[in-house]
Amino acid sequence: MKTLHSFALAALSVAILSACDKAPEQKIQSTMSETQSVTEQTQVTAPVAKKVPHEMTIHEDTRIDNYYWMRDDERKDPAVIAHLNAENTYTDAMLKHTETLQATLFEELKGRIQKDDDSVPTKSGDYYYSSQTRGDNEYPTYVRSLDAKGTEQQIILDVNELAKEHDYYAVTGLSVSPNGNLLAYGEDTVSRRIYTIWVKDLSTGKLLTDKLEGTDGDIVWANDNKTFYYIKKDLQTLLGYQVYRHTLGTPQAQDELVYEETNTSYYTGLGKSKDKQEIYIWHASTNASGVSVIDANDTKALPKRLIEREENLEYDIAKLGNIYYIVTNLNAVNFQLMTVHKDKAHDKANWQTLIPARDDIKLEGIDLFANHLVYKEREMGQSRVTIRNLTSGDEQQLSFNDSSYMIHAYGNNELDSDSLRVYYTSMTTPGTSYDIDLDSAEKTLLKQQKVVGDFNAENYASERLFITARDGVKVPVSLVYRKDKFKQDGSNPLLQYAYGSYGATMDPSFSSGRLSLLDRGFVFAIAHIRGSQMLGRPWYEDGKLLHKKNTFNDFVDVTKALVAQQYGASDNIFAMGGSAGGLLMGAVANQAPELYKGMVAAVPFVDVVTTMLDASLPLTTNEYGEWGNPNDKVYYEYMLSYSPYDQVSKQAYPNMLVTTGLHDSQVQYFEPAKWVAKLREFKTDDNKLVFKIDMEAGHGGASGRFKSLEDTALNYAFILDLAGIKK
């Protein structure tokens, strides 16, 4: 089901220490008296970064960034690497007492995962495709079969074999040619999300000579089985902006450029119609979207815009016969569904409403079948899926037992299928795959993710609350806890999570890892703050640009209300967020540090103004529609008023764990590195401030299904230790 927003960081340490005063946390003497013990001598001093004033002036305002020197685009500067290694050494020392707890948590997390696990096969063309994980393997093996039962499976790609020689490894964009003979895939061994495309002959198992570098990893095949389209990235900004046509057996240098995006506020993507007759180049900025169409049967065809792009006009298309079904915000804040004959689509006057816009219901996406339309809506924060018979017009809405849940369609590749494949989960229900009969709406259970161990869903409860924020708006909150551990007397520790940007909605879903917190008495809460689309498109609009502070205020107000309603202990509240959610953590830490005993900020976007003023950094120009362009004074001043790095002040801060990856392509490592250095300079408390840098990973953290659990174990051990839970 398509959506319009499917939319993203020791030994030489003495050389970089500054002579400035240490914050209380760091008041460990760097010289030892003769009477001090050997144990005391092993104490580690927090890295104190040197200060090199760097002036930045715009709009007659000058900012001094003392830690700007930490930016090293090549990631090779000895002083920078030494400082990051020193941070890791300090973090290891400060959290050494949690190593046993980390190990316990890691084994718990790993122990709940079914080692031998197969995905539910999905049909595409003549084959059924699925993935397998076995034993302690970190990566999946992709297989296919001529039937849904998996008879005579053929291995098409064993990622474990490919990953053997690499510290980090990721594949993306697996795409089989129309005749089923060739497999193209993207490979990233650095974690910068820059992929090399390879093509494998599935009859011989050998790679072709074709090697396409500097791409986003995804390809779309033309129907001749020897031509495909791919997107090349700008290696500085990491923006995918050029669409090339490649013919097998020819060098990349001879590839034909068929489209180049000149507007740096747009992302570029590729797709193909379900009937395989058209190839789509998707264009998407924060406030506008569109599509260009290429004939999949003509390897000389050039893309044609469906309509000219317009600011604030968003649309997405799906094709059935000669009719386009268009999900659009044309005259519809919460989107509507329109139809038009493909030959008349160039004029919006020809678009006809099929499902009209409604003020309180957001249309999120559709899926088309030969005789059925499936559409997904959201009302009062809850998604629902409806099946419409295109002949009779009769409709059936899917129903489930949970009061709050997440559902999405996947793997529906065939127009003539008589069933809809969906993935369903709630905060107490593990991920479940169903096939839904398109005529009767009857559900067939295909698989529910097994949680190894003594898990029983009946031991847990989930609630949905609406919290009134300071401006009177009601903010949805999803909660989960273990029934026999929850007292609602203000004694339970509570972890509150949120994201709140880009219109990304964090639906309530199951996490087997989260059980390690719930089983120790934690309440877990997702605050569906403004900046998402939980309550429709206006909910997003009210949490971006010059309304961004609503996001932070909502989070703080939810925390206060949960304490007031005794869901959590006032002295045992924790917060967690990553990426743009890390920005949230930074802003909240500046605004209301007294509310939180501890925070985890993962790959946090915290240096908002400086980053958004630098168009050479990855993704900056694409973000103007989300944060504003600080070259405009109005946006500059507003951003500056909440930017976590700029707003660090002399006050007490919560205990904090900050994480990043050296090769992060979304939020550059130097943002959290600078932020931690400045926090150390200004904070007036004795609380922990530790910074963990994965020197091999990027924005998504470590690769592999088990290795990444080490990050989760670290985060949880940090929180549990502060909560007084030692095992």
Task: Provide the pLDDT for residue 136.
Answer: 87
Do residues 324 and 351 touch, judged by C-beta distance below 8 A? no
Mean of the pLDDT values across residues 556-573? Answer: 98
Structure tokens given for 535: 């309550």
604-646 tens-digit pLDDT: 999 999 999 998 877 688 889 999 999 999 999 999 999 999 9
Task: Provide the pLDDT for residue 419.
Answer: 97
The secondary structure element, H or E, covering residue 591 is helix 580-591
Mean of the pLDDT values across residues 246-250? Answer: 98
655-673 tens-digit pLDDT: 999 999 998 777 889 999 9
178-190 tens-digit pLDDT: 999 999 999 999 8
Global pTM reads: 0.89
Task: Provide the pLDDT for residue 699.
Answer: 57
The DSSP secondary-structure symbol of 136 reads T
Q: What CA–CA distance (Å, rounded) separates 45 from 93?
A: 9
Q: Which one, of 568, 573, 558, 574, lies nearest residue 491 by Cα?
A: 568
Distances 387 to 104, 185, 390, 440, 442 between C-alpha atoms, Å? 46, 34, 9, 10, 11
User: Which has the higher per-residue pLDDT, 37 or 183?
Assistant: 183
User: What is the β-pairing status of strands 372-379 and 122-124?
Assistant: unpaired
Structure tokens given for 537: 């498109």
- Among residues 664, 694, 711, 721, the one annotated as catalytic is 664
Active site residue 699: yes
- Over 90: is that where the pLDDT of 25 sits? no
Q: What CA–CA distance (Å, rounded) separates 532 from 427?
A: 19
Do residues 627 and 267 touch, judged by C-beta distance below 8 A? no
Task: Provide the pLDDT for residue 30.
Answer: 27
Encoded amino acid at 583, one letter:
L
Tell me the three state secondary structure of residue 104: helix
Do residues 258 and 245 touch, judged by C-beta distance below 8 A? yes
Please state which of the ranges 86-95, 118-127, 188-197, 435-444 shows the lowest mean pLDDT.
188-197
User: pLDDT confidence of 150, banded at 50, 70, 90?
Assistant: confident
Task: Provide the pLDDT for residue 703.
Answer: 62
Do residues 482 and 519 touch, judged by C-beta distance below 8 A? yes
Active site residue 13: no
Q: What CA–CA distance (Å, rounded) separates 653 from 99?
A: 24
113-137 tens-digit pLDDT: 999 999 999 999 999 999 999 998 9
Q: What CA–CA distance (Å, rounded) separates 548 from 541?
A: 9
191-216 tens-digit pLDDT: 888 999 999 999 999 999 999 999 99
Mean of the pLDDT values across residues 153-179? Answer: 94
Do residues 171 and 159 touch, judged by C-beta distance below 8 A? yes
273-296 tens-digit pLDDT: 999 999 999 999 999 999 999 999
Mean pLDDT across the chain? 91
Task: Provide the pLDDT for residue 9.
Answer: 25
In b/e form, how buried is each residue of 501-530, taking b as 16+ CB within 10 angstroms? bbbbbbbbbbbbbbbbbbbbbbbbbbbbbb
- Over 70: is that where the pLDDT of 697 sits? no
- Kindly compute the dihedral angle of the four CA atoms of residues 293, 296, 298, 303, in this order, to the nearest 10 degrees: 20
Task: Provide the pLDDT for residue 133.
Answer: 93
Task: Provide the pLDDT for residue 707.
Answer: 78
- 548 φ/ψ angles, rounded to the nearest 5 degrees: -60, -30
Total Cβ atoms within 10 A of residue 77: 14
Do residues 340 and 328 touch, judged by C-beta distance below 8 A? no
Question: Alpha-carbon Rg of the chain, whole angstroms?
Answer: 26
Active site residue 61: no
- Over 90: is that where the pLDDT of 417 sits? yes
